[in-house]
Amino acid sequence: MNQTSIILHAAIPVYLIIAIGIGLRRWGVLKKEDDAGIMNVSVHLFLGALILDNIIGNSALKEPKQVIDSIAFGFIATLAGTFLMYALCPLIGLKKGSGARTFAVATGLPNYGFMAIPLVAALFKDPRVMGVLFTHNLGVELAFWTFSVALLSGNLRFSWRMFLKGPIIALLLGLALNFSSLDTHVPVVAAKTLRALGACAIPVSLLIIGTTMSDLLGSFRLEWRISLWALLGRLVLLPALLLAAALTLPISRELQLVIVIQAAMPAAVAPIMLSKKYGGQPMVATEVAIMTSAVALVTTPLVIGLGLNWLG
């Protein structure tokens, strides 16, 4: 099986599960009032278990430089992508109050978790890569819940409570166990329980992304200037910069592979909900997420294939 086929075999199930989620909403199986509870369980329990399962005992995450590099890159790349997209807003005709901040946050944030995790699992059998992905994602979370939210809301005050999330707590706990050498004392039954719970994280979360997409499609209105610039920024400009960083920075092979996957990701769905909460423009975030996710069906295999070939 050639590289493109492997990438497609990894990516297509992700989109199929999202499509099933859309169908479950349309058929009335999963109702809107179910989403919050299911998503909370998926993020705080299932994803937390998946992170712990991949962090505890992971040799790549017993190296301080690897951990620092991964977190730092996730943080800096998210900030740089967001503010680069904000700098492009005058070219699009977007101003503060008309969707500029929402466009920047939505286009600058890749679908770094629920789309990236199954692709990493399918493409790279080395658990070191998955562990580095989760550590990288901590940097993304830190940037998103501080500066991105501050940009959306116009409020620069930060609260430590925004970091009380299952995935962040799980990652910090896993790293603490590794660096204290207590990872070797985790009972086998606990490890098996984490693995069983973690196996639920991705499919359940993708189903809820599908139900969210179904709700958004009903009110979706296409505005070509936003769509075209979102596609250019999220699927062309930012991937080029990320791949260049992967090739030139003095970082580990595992982090290089994680960056290649992140470079191929469409925009995340989270800014849609956050723009509602913090006074942004939800329809702008919706358009960015839908259009980049649709076109990423074609561009994701191309970007990953190009990146892996460049890395040799």
Residue ranges and CATH numbers for the domains of the chain are 3-303 (1.20.1530)
Least reliable range by pLDDT among 38-42, 96-100, 102-106, 167-171: 96-100
The answer on pLDDT for 214 being more than 70 is: yes
Least confident of 64-78, 120-134, 252-266: 120-134
Q: What is the pLDDT of residue 258?
A: 96
DSSP label at residue 110: B
What are the distances in angstroms from CA 30 to CA 76, 178, 213? 37, 39, 13
Note the pLDDT of residue 76: 96
pLDDT above 70 for 162: no
* Window from 76-80, 160-164, 204-208, 287-291 with minimum mean pLDDT: 160-164
Give the helix/strand (H/E) hosting 99. Answer: none
Give, in order, the Cα–Cα distances in Å from 237 to each of 81, 86, 110, 234, 264.
9, 13, 13, 7, 11
**φ and ψ at 63, to 5 degrees?**
-105, 115
What pLDDT score does 117 carry? Answer: 85
pLDDT > 90 in the chain, percent: 41
pLDDT higher at 145 or 27 = 27
Q: Identify the band that residue 1 occupies on the pLDDT scale cut at 50, 70 and 90.
A: low
Neighbours of 162 (CB within 10 A): 14
Residue 32 has pLDDT above 70, yes or no: yes
pLDDT confidence tier of residue 166, bands split at 50, 70 and 90? confident
Which of 229-254 are b and which e, b meaning 16 or more Cβ less than 10 Å from the residue's Cβ? bbbebbbebbbeebbebbeeeebbeb
Give the model's pLDDT for residue 133: 94
pTM: 0.84
pLDDT band at 157; cut points 50, 70, 90: low
DSSP string, 231-290: HHIIIIIHHHHHHHHHHHS---HHHHHHHHHHHT--B-SHHHHHHHHTT--HHHHHHHHH
Q: What is the pLDDT of residue 79?
A: 95
Mean pLDDT for the chain overall: 87
| Residue range 235-244: mean pLDDT, rounded | 96
Work out the pLDDT band at 155, boundaries 50, 70, 90: low
Digit-coded pLDDT (tens) for 58-113: 888 888 999 999 999 999 999 999 999 999 998 888 877 668 889 999 999 998 88
| Mean pLDDT within 127-131 | 90
206 token code pair: 């993708």
- pLDDT of amino acid 286: 84
